[in-house]
Amino acid sequence: MTAERLETFPESLPFLSRLCYNKIIVLLFYSMEISWLYRHRRQLGGFFMIVKPKTRGFICTTAHPVGCARHVADQIAYVKAQGAMTGCKNVLVVGCSTGFGLATRIAAAFGCGAKTIGVSYDHPASGKRTGTPGWYNNAAFETYALEDGLYAKTLIGDAFSQEMKEQAAELIQKDLGQIDLLVYSVAAPRRTDAEGRTYSSVLKPVGAPFKSRSIDLSTNQIKEVSIEPASGEEVAATVKVMGGEDWQLWIDLLKEKGLLAQSFATVAYSYIGPEVTHAIYKNGSIGQAKKDLQETALRITEQLSAIGGKAFISVNKALVTQASAAIPVVPLYISILFHVMKEQGTHEGCIEQMDRLLRKKLFASPIPVDEENRIRMDDWEMDSRVQSAVDSLWNQVTDENLKQYADLDGYWKDFYQLFGFGIDGVDYDADVDVDVKIPSVE
């Protein structure tokens, strides 16, 4: 609307009509200005809003950038408090932005002083949507690493793609020369392979229906669950997504390009758990994928013998992650397990476990492994005293005594902290800039 057109407004119309007309024009100008500001918010320095948790099913659809940054800072502080350790120097973490992958990257960087390159599939804030927690975690990690004079760069994209593998290889060659540790920590619902075929993973039993007790996370009440078994096609697809094929492809490419250092090590993560979870996990569709992961580790070790390279599966403790929240039975088991392990003083979160993995196991001489060459970070969870107490409470727990026998509050605290909520010292009523930049990402 131009000034000339405004001047042509009929003077014969009543005063109130002209006033309304002018107000409409002002509102239009404001609307155009707000739209321009939104489109250029990154150049102008941020986009502020109050962020609250919004849940849908077993995921939270919002993430708090300040809370995520504080959570990363707390994990860094834990590693620093344990003191410096010897181990890796140049590290690639595939699946670096949350959970075990993030914790391993933190332990490697702030414990060993390692240079790290991370790969993750995350997105920044867009419209009214916040960024993913992984985006904010990556941003915080890089910022803190740079403050400490540590090399840290992050590649955003699909870890399954050949393009991402080539990008990572190019960056390693340019900045690091070679890597001495590759951490493979990818938990994904689907994978598109090099031929363009897409596979989806499922969390189902194999061979027979599964019935057990679980907890309805929407009501915090115990219920019976029944899950039909996976088809052969679903099992095969789950192995494609969560098995060892992509891990092997990463190793093949980096080895071919001469980017693996002498005595190189690589580790991927798995879970076994107690009998109560076996039907849905160890013996289920995801368990078949983890068996493939284990077989891949043995093949990689043989493949890398010329450089003294080794591949390991680290069997980790049950923890609250975005992935574990989706598995029936597991949330109830975790809540009871947390109650028992906190009482016995052996509870660990992601960062405590991954710090212990690097500090006490992966770089020990000799490396402590079980009969199948696996590193057992679930050793404290599977301790007979812990499992005996968990079994007893599992058989006694009801809706009425749930809070007495299970650490449901602890479960939910850990769940919300995955998304940056419930972190001490964060004002969740304040406007925060959700348009956060990762220093190394254009």
Closest of 392, 333, 355, 377 to residue 75, by C-alpha: 355
User: Which residue ranges make up the annotated binding site?
Assistant: 95-100, 158-159, 186-187, 271, 290, 319-321
Q: Note down pLDDT in tens along the chain; length 442 residues.
A: 433 333 333 444 444 444 444 444 434 444 444 343 344 444 434 689 999 999 887 789 999 999 999 999 999 999 999 999 999 999 999 999 999 999 999 999 999 999 999 999 999 999 889 999 999 999 999 999 999 999 999 999 999 999 999 999 999 999 999 999 999 999 899 999 989 999 999 999 999 999 999 888 888 899 998 999 999 999 999 999 999 999 999 999 999 999 999 999 999 999 999 999 999 999 999 999 999 999 999 999 999 999 999 999 999 999 998 777 778 889 999 999 999 999 999 999 999 999 999 999 999 999 999 999 999 999 999 999 999 999 999 999 999 999 999 999 999 999 999 999 999 999 999 999 999 999 999 8
Catalytic residue among 281, 333, 405, 411: 281
pTM score of the predicted model: 0.89
Domains of the chain: 60-188+208-423 (3.40.50.720)
User: Which residue ranges make up the annotated binding site for NAD(+)?
Assistant: 95-100, 158-159, 186-187, 290, 319-321
Cβ burial of 97 (10 Å; 0-12, 13-18, 19+) is buried
User: Which residue ranges make up the annotated binding site for substrate?
Assistant: 271
Instruction: Work out the number of other CB atoms within 10 angstroms of the CB of residue 381.
Output: 26
Q: How far apart are CA 185 and CA 102, in angstroms?
A: 9
267 beta partners: 183, 312
Look up tokens 């590693």; give the residue. Answer: 79
Which amino acid is residue 273, in one-letter code? G
Instruction: Work out the number of other CB atoms within 10 angstroms of the CB of residue 302.
Output: 11
Is 121 an annotated catalytic residue? no
